Structure 1
Amino acid sequence: MTDKRLADLVLLHGLVVTMDAGWRVLEDGGLAVSGQDIVAVGPSAEIAAGYDATETIDASGHIVMPGLINAHTHAPAVLFRGLVEDLELEPWLARSWQIEKKMLNPDSIRLGAQMAHTEMIHSGTTTGLDMYWFPEVSAEVAKQIGFRLMTGPAYLETPDPPDHIPDAQRTDHGREFLQQYRNDPLIITCVQPHSTYTVSPRYLAEARDLADEYHVLLNTHAAESPIEVKTIEQKYGLRPPGHLDAQGLLTARTVLAHGVFLNHDEIDLLATRGTAVAHCPISNLKLGAGIAPVNGMLNRGVKVMVGTDGAQSSNDLNLWPVMRMTALLQKGIHNDPTLVPARQVVNMATRGAAEALGLADQIGTLEAGKRADLILLDLGQTHSLPLYDVYLHLLYAAGREDVSTVIINGQKVMHERQMLTIDERETNDRARALSRQIQAYAQTLSGGGR
């Protein structure tokens, strides 16, 4: 008889959805966690026989699955949820940026990040790809709360930016960020030129070179609106994907947010380059921007992930309705209910996203050797019954209200719906106070906040 090994945490008797390449689902499954890593996944009897643990969680009546990955957001912009509404993208951006320039500073970013990371954890998101001002502040908050954050220096050429960094100094400042967080256990660095319409070729090239220097992902917006496409085509003689490709920015380490107006040739180009797309259907619909050709991208082998976008446009950082909308839109516009099946969409928010972000060796599945990023969903509510197919359940019935426990990097950050790493009540009180200031300023602008 062999001696049991010691683990920090053992989960037993859950419905374990591993999301591994073999699509293993364990009806009475368990796993063991040591430090930040999963060290074993298997039937509960095997895990119980092989491990003693400092803490044991009985996951009976729960789905255990990898944490969700939000592939596109502007997290601290949750501060502006519901403030600028019912506008198309370009006037919406103009009004939003006007308010941001006045209201954003390290303190407001810190509060916004606390709110956003907490909101995402509550909905079962354990990793977010975030583009916004003051990434160093958001990174600090993520580490304090225990949230896995992919972020980095953003390029956006605008007069008097909120961070007051001159365009000519942005690359040097960004290099400091990339160096500081190069080997951080929770912060994954990237370089983020906002778009082809806000960043000139000079700074697109600087962003490209910086990403190449550190061999990190490059994240940008592209083909989000018809005005954007027309503007870039008139200015450079190429549509946004072609312009990015001519600048050397389309690679297997690039993520394009939105891609609503990609044509067939551009989809083929992305597939050839290995470039991924972060699909944000709810934000796109709300801004009247259209519906991305997701089915066409998938058919051509483009890596597609899902994202909420920022809550200032989508009003919510909850990935479950985004996943659902991803499938429903493609079925509906093509009049084909077989398209984009449930298992494929769940994969877009877990293993597939990890692969597209270059993180497949760390997260996205429940396997030995991966980081312990996992969530428990309660199956005790009426809307969870009956359960015949777990992937169909996850896509069409499960939601934020079912997420009971969240573990990130081996740390339990939420248990029985209670955050363990932040005082939510105090955070919410500060958010209410700041929102009054934001609203007062917005009302001084022409047209008010809306």
Structure 2
Amino acid sequence: MDRDGTVTVTIPERTRRRLTAVLFTGVSIGRTGYIAAVTVTTLVAKEMLGSATLAGVPGAVTVLGSALGGDRLSAYMERHGRRRGLVLGYAAMAAGAAGAATATALGSFPLLVGASAVFGFGASADSLSRYAAADVHPAERRGAAIAIVVWAGTIGSVLGPTLLSPAEGVGRALGIEPLAGSYVIAAALAALALMVIAVLLRPDPLEFADRGTGVRPTGRITGSATVWIAVASLAIGQMVMVLIMVMTPLHVRDHGHTLGTVGVIIAAHTFGMFAVSPLTGWVADRIGRLPVILAGQAILAIAAVTAALADESAIATLTVALFLLGLGWNLSYVAGSALLTEGAAPENRVRLQGFGDAVVWTAGAVASVSSGLLLEAGSYAILCVVGACLTVVPVTVTLRVRATT
């Protein structure tokens, strides 16, 4: 029996490690393709339309597709297992990337938008993989298990952008628009991730998770106080991170700095998001989920205030702020995911994990749209202050829950 009161099937340590390694590999491959594709999407849309006005639509649709995918794929996994659900996700991701390549070759914006939705739907398999890792580990090691799979995002974030130049060569070799090559590579990598999961993720991780008896609709399973703390930390962490991150490159460029400078700042941010994941998971397992969540929200607030106060010439300060922004997100994401897994009733755990991811992706989409509006209506500093204020939400939820329990 785990410390959270659930009974799990005994699983050999070697099997745990192998399944976790398979999930890590699948996410590494899938995330590399995802980054390669989304990096060019705005450029492709702008070339099609001849204007940047609606160029962000495919990207927003991708995020909304991921929100839907998180919920729907989890419901499918609940009935058919993690492996089949992840295979379905990567199949949709490959199909969406292929559709986007076709749309780019044809110059069809409506097709690009539709393909982006399918691509985003499938890409949610990457984020859901962390819960499959949690299935095969006891409660006292779930934080570390989740963190290892989140850590795989580091590989995608580093390798994805490096594929852009080779991808143009692929596009030319196929006789299509060079930018379409990124989608071709994304489709191939999604197909490879699919094969890795289909062949190697055996036995299914869900076979080792206690699923209880009976399943209730999502609307009736979110009453747990722990669940609300977890969802609030995940959603606000994502919202604050996206709100500030997406406008930072524009802010830096508007003040005369080079693309190289932008690259350094975003690299520091990405490092904070993923590189420390194993340490985050270890700490969350040792001292508990709530302290790590609260630390994450505090770091997010510090990052937002630091960015708001940074002079436009203080690139070093802004780089530190964006690193802290990534770090705060990481703490909230890893510990929040572990808390959500433990707070859900066993019979509803899989469905609730998908619900949580749907909320996270939706929060990211709202932040992405809102960031531009806040920047236009106010300033980068005001945008950052709004982000800092948002971190009060998970803290308030946590304090209220503690006061009533």
TM-score band w.r.t. shorter chain: under 0.3
Instruction: Tell me the TM-score normalised to structure 2 length.
Output: 0.24
Q: Whose Rg is larger?
A: 1
* Length-normalised TM-score, structure 1: 0.22
- Bigger share in helix: 2
Larger relative strand fraction:
1
